[in-house]
Amino acid sequence: MSQYALATATRPGRPRVVPRLANARAPRDEILHAAAELFVNRGFAATSTRDIAEKVGIRQASPYYHFAGKPGILAELLELSVRPSLEKVERIELACPADVPEAALDLLALIDVEALATVPHNLGKLYRMPDVRSSEVFAEFQPALQELTAAYGRLGADIVSSTVAATVSMDQLGGLLVQAVEAVTRIRSRGGEVTSVQGRAIAATCLRICGVPEARIVRATVTADGLLLRFAEERPA
């Protein structure tokens, strides 16, 4: 776990400048939400803790009661963009039937698409932003991103055609598959919503990158869709 994340234990907050509404988010979540919007739209380096506090309507020092400053906030936001998908990889591999190995990659792509499509303020853009990538926080986050990329590469290597296997390494394949899924962030950047049809098209594209025949893609799609319903039912209320 990141040294920044370790320093984010909740502490009593100081009085707010603007009173909270009864149905408002918890202060810690409000800070994350405001920071996400500012970091994505303005840039990490160009955003100060004062900016975040002013957007939330709290005193300038209040974010420090919940996070290890701006780096701590960024660390948690980066985790939110990757961790939900990464934590499901093992369950995906166990859930997919052996006779439809393509379904595992299809399902991971569907789950990852949904995660990137629903995180606030298009957080998936963060780890591609130059000022984020040059930060110390990113250096600590990078292993999680590499782990997810390796999972894509591993699932892709299990189904890749001989033609594709002769062209790219497993690491390169993982990177190509991650880039395909990151089409979600580009769609959102243009102001669009990612539909279920687009999500399934992105997942199918991942299989095509691996050289999977169309008939197998159809079978994998049906299998992955059924498993996706099971994963959805297991979400906490």
Interval 72-100: pLDDT, tens: 999 999 998 898 899 999 999 999 999 99
Mean of pLDDT values over 224-231: 88
Band (234; pLDDT cuts 50, 70, 90)? low
Interval 110-152: pLDDT, tens: 999 999 999 889 999 998 899 999 999 999 999 999 999 999 9
Query: Would you list the domain boundaries of the chain?
Result: 3-72, 78-233
Three-state secondary structure of 86-126: HCCHHHHHHHCCCCCCHHHHHHHHHHHHHHHHHCHHHHHHH
pTM: 0.84
Band (60; pLDDT cuts 50, 70, 90)? confident
Band (19; pLDDT cuts 50, 70, 90)? very low
Three-state secondary structure of 24-61: CCCHHHHHHHHHHHHHHHHCCCCCCHHHHHHHHCECCC
- The DSSP result for 158-179, as a single string, is TT--HHHHTT--HHHHHHHHHH
Band (232; pLDDT cuts 50, 70, 90)? confident
For residue 156, give both structure tokens: 């892709």
Specify whether the backbone of 203 is left (phi greater than 0), alpha (psi in -120 to 50) or beta. alpha
Position 139 scores a pLDDT of: 92
Q: Is the pLDDT of residue 43 over 80?
A: yes
Neighbours of 167 (CB within 10 A): 12
How far apart, in whole angstroms, are the C-alpha atoms of residue 224 and residue 133? 33
Domain topology for 78-233 = Tetracycline Repressor; domain 2 (1.10.357)
Position 16 scores a pLDDT of: 42
Q: Are 158 and 107 in contact (CB under 8 A)?
A: no
Interval 177-213: pLDDT, tens: 999 999 999 999 998 899 999 999 999 999 999 999 9
Q: Are 44 and 141 in contact (CB under 8 A)?
A: no
Residues 164, 169, 171, 176: what is their CA dihedral angle, to the nearest 10 degrees? Answer: -30
Domain 3-72: give its CATH superfamily.
Answer: Homeodomain-like (1.10.10.60)
Q: Are 111 and 88 in contact (CB under 8 A)?
A: yes
Position 3 scores a pLDDT of: 57
